[in-house]
A and B are shown apart, each in its own frame.
Chain A
Amino acid sequence: MRFKTRARTSIRMGGVVAAATLVAVATSSVSPAAASVPVVKISVASLIPGSTAAATAAFNAQIKLFEQENPGIVVTPSTYQWLGSTFAAKLAAGTLPTMFTVPFTDGRALGDNGQLADLTPYADALPYFNRFNPAVIAEGIDAKGKVIAIPEASYAQALSYNRQLFTEAGLNPNDPPTTWAQIESDAKQISDKTGTAGYAEMGANDNTAGWILTTLDYALGGRMESGIGSKAKATFDNPQAVQALDLLKTMRWTDNSMGSDFDWGWSDINQAFSAGQVGMFISGSDVYTNMVQSYNIKPSIYGLAPIPLANNKNAGVLGGGTLCAVSPSASPAQVAAAVKWIDFYYLQKYVNRNAAIAWAKTEAASKQPVGTPEVPIFNQTQENLYNSWIKPYINVPLKQMAPFTTAIFKDQIIPEPESATQAVYGDLDSVVEAVLTEQNANPSSLLSAANSVGQHSIQSGS
């Protein structure tokens, strides 16, 4: 009878489906013979996506060294770049590696929100913990005094300039501009003589435009925020910010020395500079590393100079840095392993002579940059020791960076705005974009409008 056959068929099919499911579940839950040593698996942030094969190989060599010294830990590299526009999505999706990096601007706030693992017991156990530069380690300690991130790099903003374009334009590459007026005239000369962008400014809508505008503001003696905590107020419409925007306006519309692209982000401006399309730009003092690792820059063209500071006691260099953090969902064993990795890869080279030499040797062997100028994360004594250890292996053109390295220690380094830093940068993005894309943009009114948005960002604490 057909209907009985149909019933039989459906029961048979049900049986087959159930059996298949059971088999699938059974095989997936059968684990291989357990190893006698419990293995802790962590994933760690490696290099920026698109880094060269040599850089990736050097990183993997470091992982191998670490695993040899720590047989119970397996490390998987994961290409990673912190970007204001994608970090939150990755955090929410849980796709961040076990150990990842965040900038100084976000560390404490993320820790306060419970989005970073507590590293205090493991950090305190590090023998050199007391040798951290107090201002730097403070960036990794949340409001309750717990260590939620460990600093691994600190930088100051600087002016990167193309020595080859300087020469072609008839300027002296050993004599970079020391005032903003000189930057303006040098930019004009470079763009007139070589047709490239004499001065380029980040203008992407991903917080980088606001970041560089803040840098200019600080260099002229202004501040984007006053007060801290609940008393923080936005001060975007300070006269120095207007001055900075007026300068950009002149270079863009009167001198026409900024080229024809105004939406540079952090990576693409490095790329364009490495390709010889940009004469000068402002970014971190450590961008040379990225240019070598990702864009094959010709070392002879790179020059590093300090940002010209106004004759104003508040004028200073915006500082920043990177923190290593651990995912809050990591197990205690994974957190311990992650801190061991942080210690091995990021910090040992500063505190241990053999580690410093081993690191420098490995990097130099794969032609990765050793000796890029940085701001010390430990105290000055430790920093001097470190520099002496790696001296034989330094392969970055330090002489070309001398203008920066000699000046930076007397310049005042100022931390980034305290409250809702990334949001503040984001609110300033549109101001920069407007000035660079609309000839009749009015910097004062733009800053006033942005100020109320910024005040809202600060108050909502985001």
Chain B
Amino acid sequence: MSTINPTKPNLELMEPVLPTRALPAGRGRARRTPLTWIRHGGLSTLLFLLPLLLIFGAFSWYPIVRLVLMAFQHTNLVQPATWVGFQNFSEVVHDPLFPIAVKNTAEFAGLALVFGYPVPLAVAVLISEVRKRRGLYSALAYLPVVVPPVVAVLLWKFFYDGGPSGVFNTMLHWVGIGPQPWIQSESQAMPSLVLESTWANAGGTVIIYLAALTGVNAELYEAAAVDGAGLWKKIANVTLPQMRTILLVTLILQLIGTAQVFLEPYLFTSGGPDNATITVLLLIYNYAFGNSLGPSYGEAAALSLMLVAFLAVFSLIYLRATRSWSTG
């Protein structure tokens, strides 16, 4: 009865040539009713989506909504909550630990940026220059990532033992440097945390950079070689510009990640010594769970929201500012 009409949508072209349903006169397509939706397989789509919706709803969206509400309440999860407006936010801002936590978080993020950000790039470039056994070196670089974070921290806690017989202090002794207190000193605690964090997390970024490096056009290197460029000039003028986009993405991801650092301060020093390593996330944790009597879930929620807002604004500014760099 009907023939394939080339002006009809592609969807119909994929179906076998069969008598179509009767179309209302003058219309190109049938009206979408629930019945047509079911007939088109809408029900199976929904069924496939349902687990995802349920899980995200239960474990992601509902907690977020609860959190926003909790930021304006005073509750201990046992007795009914009371609404307190912006009081939680005010208490957080006036807490003497708040500026210390912000400063420490900025210090961690800054140190991680200066020391931790270039390391995966350097390692990736080195590995990509190697001819043989590249896979082995990639695996070795990734190995620390595979170690469970808590295990890694406990291992490094052992390494950081402040006595002369501690692992790192023994190594320092070989080169004539005296024993260091590491995490037991206010000035050395944060850099020690950054060191362990870099070791534990660089591997993933190395793999990403390695993949990105393979995408750099080899002809560009040849052209640079023809122009007389050495290794460093090649890296500066070919590799880095070509990897611009991915570098900018990993930069913002690192900044967001380090702003939320919790594991290292919590496990190494619990925020000590003398609040030298208390970060924003650790402060949130202490508000919620640090007091054995009266948790301040409202304050924890308020500080969480403040952090989210800050990171969102920061990301927006970052993306706007770097838009021209990444695509240009």
Contacts and interface: CB of A to CB of B under 8 A. Distances in A.
Interface of A: 1-4, 6-7, 9-11, 13-14, 17, 84-89, 92, 102, 106, 109-110, 113-115, 203-207, 259-263, 328, 420, 422-423, 426, 429-431, 433-434, 436-438, 453, 461-462
Given A4-B39, A261-B184, A88 B291 contact: yes
Contact of B293 (A1, A113, A203, A453): A113
A115 B39 contact: no
Nearest to A110: B293
Interface of B: 15-16, 18, 38-45, 47, 76-79, 96, 161-164, 166, 179, 181, 183-186, 269-275, 288-297
A11 B186 contact: no
17 contacts: A7-B39, A11-B43, A13-B43, A14-B47, A85-B289, A88-B289, A88-B291, A88-B292, A89-B289, A92-B297, A109-B293, A115-B76, A260-B166, A263-B273, A431-B274, A433-B272, A438-B185
A206 B40 CA distance: 61
6 smallest CB-CB distances across A and B, nearest first, come from A10-B44, A10-B43, A205-B270, A260-B163, A433-B273, A205-B272
B291 A423 contact: yes
Contact of B186 (A17, A87, A422, A437): A437
Nearest to A265: B270
Given A259-B163, A422-B293, A434-B273, A9 B44 contact: yes
Nearest to B35: A7
B47 A3 contact: no
Contacts of A434: 186, 273-274
A102 B292 CA distance: 10
Nearest to B268: A263
B96 A453 contact: yes
A92 B77 contact: yes
B293 A10 contact: no
Nearest to A115: B78
Given A92-B288, A203-B273, 17 more contacts: A7-B38, A10-B38, A10-B44, A13-B47, A17-B47, A84-B290, A86-B289, A88-B293, A92-B289, A113-B294, A205-B269, A260-B164, A260-B181, A262-B273, A328-B78, A437-B181, A438-B186
A114 B294 CA distance: 11
A115 B295 CA distance: 12
Contacts of A110: 293
Contacts of B166: 260
Contacts of A420: 293
